[in-house]
Structure 1
């Protein structure tokens, strides 16, 4: 049985739907490339990828550090580290990889000033002590080393998405039923949760406070129609993150059969007819440690 992180990343985030997985990977490819571009990696360097997960960033970094460079895969999930190790062996690059199990806020397995670059994607959203994590990134970087971060700014979309509707769909006709579902998600991830307790300005200030000499941030927010037609079964069977149930599971936990029928009868036709709206915000942060340390 996989741990919750591996189970979500490999299965629950796309609900076993290969088309949704393809769409997610299509979205993440440019994210990977931007994170690596911002890290300004040179051949022969050592890169630490914190929260490596399925290796999206780390395997991409291997191409950039070249045959004389090294990539350290770090994750809290042993299952994901084992999978990454297996993939590296199959690809014939295991000799250029290292694997450590550590949380972002405790990288004590690594020595001070031991890596040239640190990357992380969608990791700080799960970390409570974010200041400590970014301080750890700074500690392990060599003088002049670079940090490159990508994080969703979930605070931007949360209130509208869960409290004022569903994918932009007006749920007032079934407000009593929707409130029960919403209450479950709010209880599991309140606004004080690491997923929601920061925005792009906090990230910038944390990097400054950690001692980085140069800090840059690019913020992107968008309200758009979904990139392709939404399919009800696909939507309700995919989980937004490892800590919450799918909508299908949430309805089963909170609603009677009659209530579920009411909610589905109202929301499904609107969602599948194109009435949905996607709200999202992300931040790319990149920073450099002072060359004097």
Structure 2
């Protein structure tokens, strides 16, 4: 493929107008905090390495990175193989343009393709046309997860490898959904106010139907089995901790970062949410209680993630 004419497949699911995916991934994920951004990247590097280790890359492989985002996995794959190619796939045209610009600057464009498509519809790719499929934190946004696994299986060559990483958000939901809990903090004295903010988030992402919460690790294994994968392995990592001044985690941040960070592309920042549903008096009362807890990290931390890898 020449640098002047990269392959881009257009899809009817392309986002129109404002692209919430690129806006979040490149900006709102970090709340304008360079230190927090560095902490996130330090956390993600070993995740990237594990996904690629499980993919067992080989020279000459055609790799498809589904939901490539800013290219963390895809560029990592290009670093590992001197020959072969990587298809950057995403539903965000802005993110694909961003990745294409980076690939051009790095002199890698001749080994890259760019596909605008959702995980559940990769019809632009032929059956048995790629050696490896990777994803990182993508299926949490996909309602049709069974269909996505079916597409992964269809486009992989016999013996092809699937390697994914996903958070299991259902793991912490039982605790975090309790009325006295907000983002892991005890807000009992301002529970009435916290409920108004939580109601907005739950309206945007209903607990009983949102793709971020409608699955766990057993479902992922079942989807892979149903798709037809021959060998499936899954590793679950879970963590529960009550943090304080001595506790450290990826979530550690100052108040301004906490206020201006959105947990995912589909929800507002805390500042935006409070502006929508609280009066100035309620906001002041809520912040007075919550801010010291955030600044001293007085929170319950519950998280679970999985690495799944499989062979077609």
- Measured after TM superposition, the shift of residue 186 of structure 1 is 0.8
Provide the TM-score with structure 1 as the length reference: 0.95
Provide the TM-score with structure 2 as the length reference: 0.90
Q: 2:289 aligns with which of 256, 266, 279?
A: 266
1:194 is matched with 211
Matched position secondary structure for 1:220: strand
2:253 is matched with 230
1:106 maps onto 2:128 in alignment: no
- Measured after TM superposition, the shift of residue 214 of structure 1 is 0.3
1:177 is matched with 193
Matched position secondary structure for 2:182: coil
Q: Quick check: 1:81–1:99 contact (8 Å CA) kept in 2?
A: yes
- Measured after TM superposition, the shift of residue 162 of structure 1 is 4.2
**Aligned pairs (5 A) from 1:119-134:** 119-134=134-149
RMSD: 1.3
Tell me which moved more, 157-166 or 44-53.
157-166
Write the deviation string for residues 100-130 of structure 1: whole angstroms up to 9, x where unpaired: 1010000001000000000000110111110
Q: Quick check: 1:46–1:65 contact (8 Å CA) kept in 2?
A: no
CA distance in 2, matches of 1:273, 1:52: 35
- Measured after TM superposition, the shift of residue 42 of structure 1 is 0.7
- Measured after TM superposition, the shift of residue 44 of structure 1 is 1.3
1:284 is matched with 307
Q: Which runs of 5+ in 1 are unaligned?
A: none
- Measured after TM superposition, the shift of residue 230 of structure 1 is 3.0
- Measured after TM superposition, the shift of residue 176 of structure 1 is 0.6
Q: Quick check: 2:186–2:299 contact (8 Å CA) kept in 1?
A: no
CA distance in 1, matches of 2:202, 2:154: 35
Write the deviation string for residues 172-225 of structure 1: whole angstroms up to 9, x where unpaired: 111111110011111110121001100111001100010000001001111233
1:117 is matched with 132
